[in-house]
C-alpha cells in the first residue's frame, strides 16, 4: 500500500476517530478519579476541588459557542487537531499543577478540548461516512466507554507502582499525540461541499434542510431533537450517578459492595453500542426499530432494578441491562439529527452538546434533592421514566418530518415545466409576382 493510499484510507480515518474518543474518555474520567490526589497536590480541600467540574463544563460551552465559526473558517480537521493539542497540554499540566489557579486553567482547557474534539469528530464522520453514520456513531461512542473503563485501571496501576497519578495522565497525552500526528497526515473531506447546479429543476430548500443557523433555530424539528437528547442524557446521568447510592441505601450494604452496579452499567453502554453497530451493518435493524426497542428495554430494566432493589445480584444484572439498552440511543439520535439538518451539521452538534450539558447539570442534582424526600427506591423511577419519555418527542419529530417530506414532494410536482417551442403553422406558398 502506497503512502498516498494510506493518507486517504477511510478505515484508518475511522480508527483514528475512535482512538481520539478513547483518549477523550480517558481524560474525561482521570481528573474525577484522582480528585483527592490532585487536591493534595494543590493543598486545597476536596470540597473546593469540586469546582473543577464547573470550570470544565464552562470550557465545553465556550468550545460549543466558537465551534461554528471555526468550522467555517478552518474545517473539521483543524478543529480536531486543536482539540487534541489542548488535550495533550492539559493532560501534562493537571497532574503537575501545584497551584489551584493553574489547575483550574488546565481544567478549562480540558473542557474546551473535549468540546472541540466532539464537534470536530462528529463533523468528520458526517462528511466522510454519511451513508453509515448511525453505525459509525454507535462504534465511536462505544470508544468513549472503553476510555472511561480504562481510566480507573490506568490510574490504579500508576498509584500502585509510582504513588503518583502522573503516569496515567502522561499515557493519555501520548495517546493524544499519536492521534494528532495521524490526523495531520490523513487527507479527508473537512468542509461541507457547496451546492452545485444540475440539470434538474431547482426547488426551493424546505424547512427540513435549512442552510443557515438562523433558519435552523426556527424549526420545531430542531427543538424536538434537543428535547430527545435532554431526556436521554437525564436518564443516563441520573442512573449512573445515583444507582450505587440507591442500591447501598435500599439493600443496606456498603458503597464498595454496590459499586459493581455502576461498572456493569458502563460495560453495558459500551457493549450495547458495539452490538447495535454490528446489527445495523448487517441490516437487521432500522433506526426506528432499534430506538423503540432500546427505550422500552431500558425502562423495563429500570423498573426491574426498582422492584428487586433489596437483591443486589439482580440489581447488578438490571443495571447491565439498562446500560445495554440505553447505549445505542444517544449516537443514533445524533445520527438522525445530523442527517435531517445536513446543511448545518456543526450547529446540530452544538445543540446536542448544549442539551446534554443542561441535562447533566440539572437531572442528577434534582435526583439528589429528591432522594432524601421520597427515598432511594422511588427516586430511581425518574431515570426509568425519562428513558420511556424519549419516545414521545421522537414520535413527534418523525410526524413532523413526514409532513415536510410530503410538502416537498408536492412542491416538486408543482414545479413549472420548461416551455418548448410551439408548433409552427405552415402557410400556403405564394407565388412571387414578377
Contact 34, 162 (CB under 8 A): no
pLDDT-based confidence at residue 408 (cuts at 50, 70, 90): low
What is the C-alpha to C-alpha distance for residues 273 and 331, in angstroms, rounded to an integer?
A: 8
Answer whether 268's CB lies under 8 Å from 323's CB: yes
Tell me, what's the pLDDT at 207? 43
pLDDT of residue 429: 53
pLDDT value of residue 46: 67
Mean pLDDT computed over 412-433? 52
C-alpha cell at 158: 500508576
Percent of the chain with pLDDT over 70: 87
Share of the chain above pLDDT 90, in %: 25
Binning pLDDT at 50, 70 and 90, where does residue 127 land?
confident
Grid cell, residue 210, equals 435549512
Q: From residue 310, how far is each of 260, 303, 307 by CA, in Å?
A: 15, 13, 8
pLDDT tens by residue, 208-263:
556 666 777 778 888 888 899 999 988 988 888 788 888 888 888 876 788 788 88
Mean pLDDT for 97-109 is 91
Does residue 289 surpass a pLDDT of 50? yes
Alpha helices by DSSP H, listed for 283-427, are: 287-307, 312-326, 329-340, 345-374, 376-379, 381-389, 391-413
Instruction: Reply yes or no on whether the pLDDT at 155 is more than 80.
Output: yes
What was the pLDDT predicted at 361? 72
Per-residue pLDDT band at 426 (split at 50, 70, 90): low
Indicate if the pLDDT at residue 196 is higher than 70: no
Q: Which residue has the higher pLDDT, 89 or 215?
A: 89
Question: Do the beta carbons of residue 108 and residue 55 sit within 8 Å?
Answer: yes
Distance CA(196)–CA(414), nearest Å, equals: 22
Higher pLDDT, 225 or 403: 225
DSSP state of 342: T
Q: What is the pLDDT of residues 54-69, one digit of tens each?
A: 788 788 878 877 877 7
Give residue 434's pLDDT: 38
Q: Residue 109: what pLDDT? A: 93
- pLDDT beyond 60 at 315: yes
> Which segments of 20-153 are extended strands (E)?
none
Residue 107 contacts by C-beta under 8 Å, 6 or more apart in sequence? 31, 52, 55, 56, 59, 90, 94
Please give the grid coordinates belonging to residue 402: 413526514
Most confident of the ranges 79-83, 123-127, 280-284, 394-398: 79-83
What angle separates helix 220-251 from helix 287-307, to the nearest 10 degrees? Answer: 30
Given this model, what pLDDT does residue 176 score?
Answer: 93
**What does the pLDDT average to over 278-300?**
85
322: pLDDT strictly greater than 90: yes
The verdict on pTM exceeding 0.75 is no
- Indicate the SS3 state at residue 311: coil
Tell me what pLDDT residue 325 has: 93
As a whole number of angstroms, the distance between CA 318 and CA 312 comes to: 10
Amino acid at each position: 500500500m502506497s503512502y498516498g493510499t494510506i493518507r486517504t484510507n477511510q478505515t484508518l480515518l475511522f480508527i483514528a476517530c475512535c482512538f481520539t474518543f478513547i483518549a477523550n474518555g480517558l481524560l474525561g474520567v482521570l481528573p474525577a478519579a484522582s480528585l483527592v490526589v490532585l487536591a493534595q497536590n494543590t493543598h486545597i480541600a476536596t470540597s473546593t476541588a469540586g469546582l473543577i467540574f464547573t470550570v470544565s463544563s464552562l470550557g465545553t460551552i465556550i468550545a460549543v459557542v466558537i465551534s461554528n465559526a471555526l468550522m467555517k473558517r478552518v474545517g473539521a480537521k483543524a478543529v480536531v487537531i486543536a482539540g487534541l493539542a489542548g488535550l495533550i497540554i492539559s493532560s501534562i499540566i493537571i497532574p503537575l499543577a501545584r497551584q489551584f489557579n493553574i489547575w483550574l486553567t488546565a481544567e478549562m482547557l480540558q473542557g474546551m478540548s473535549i468540546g472541540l474534539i466532539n464537534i470536530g469528530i462528529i463533523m468528520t464522520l458526517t462528511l466522510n461516512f454519511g451513508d453509515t453514520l448511525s453505525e459509525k456513531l454507535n462504534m465511536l461512542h462505544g470508544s468513549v466507554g472503553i476510555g472511561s473503563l480504562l481510566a480507573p485501571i490506568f490510574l490504579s496501576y500508576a498509584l500502585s507502582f509510582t504513588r503518583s497519578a502522573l503516569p496515567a495522565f502522561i499515557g493519555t497525552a501520548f495517546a493524544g499525540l499519536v492521534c494528532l500526528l495521524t490526523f495531520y497526515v490523513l487527507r479527508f473531506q473537512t468542509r461541507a461541499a457547496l451546492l452545485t447546479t444540475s440539470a434538474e429543476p431547482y426547488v426551493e430548500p424546505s424547512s427540513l434542510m435549512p442552510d443557515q443557523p438562523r433558519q435552523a433555530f426556527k424549526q420545531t424539528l430542531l427543538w424536538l431533537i434537543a428535547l430527545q437528547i435532554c431526556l436521554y442524557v437525564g436518564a443516563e446521568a441520573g442512573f449512573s450517578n445515583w444507582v450505587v447510592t440507591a442500591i447501598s441505601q435500599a439493600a443496606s450494604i456498603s458503597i464498595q459492595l454496590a459499586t459493581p452496579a455502576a461498572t456493569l452499567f458502563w460495560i453495558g453502554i459500551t457493549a450495547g453500542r458495539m452490538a447495535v453497530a454490528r446489527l445495523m451493518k448487517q441490516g437487521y435493524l432500522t433506526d426506528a426499530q432499534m430506538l423503540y426497542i432500546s427505550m422500552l428495554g431500558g425502562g423495563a430494566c429500570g423498573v426491574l432494578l426498582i422492584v428487586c432493589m433489596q437483591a443486589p445480584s439482580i440489581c447488578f444484572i438490571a443495571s447491565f441491562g439498562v446500560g445495554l439498552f440505553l447505549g445505542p440511543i444517544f449516537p443514533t439520535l445524533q445520527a438522525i439529527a445530523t442527517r435531517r439538518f445536513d446543511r448545518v451539521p456543526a450547529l446540530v452538534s452544538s445543540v446536542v452538546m448544549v442539551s446534554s450539558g443542561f441535562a447533566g447539570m440539572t437531572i442528577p442534582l434534582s435526583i439528589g434533592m429528591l432522594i432524601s424526600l421520597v427515598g432511594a427506591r422511588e427516586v430511581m423511577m425518574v431515570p426509568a421514566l425519562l428513558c420511556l419519555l424519549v419516545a414521545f418527542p421522537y414520535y413527534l419529530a418523525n410526524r413532523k418530518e413526514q409532513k415536510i417530506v410530503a410538502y416537498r414532494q408536492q412542491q416538486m410536482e408543482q414545479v413549472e415545466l420548461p416551455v418548448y417551442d410551439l408548433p409552427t403553422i405552415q402557410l400556403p406558398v405564394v407565388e412571387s409576382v414578377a
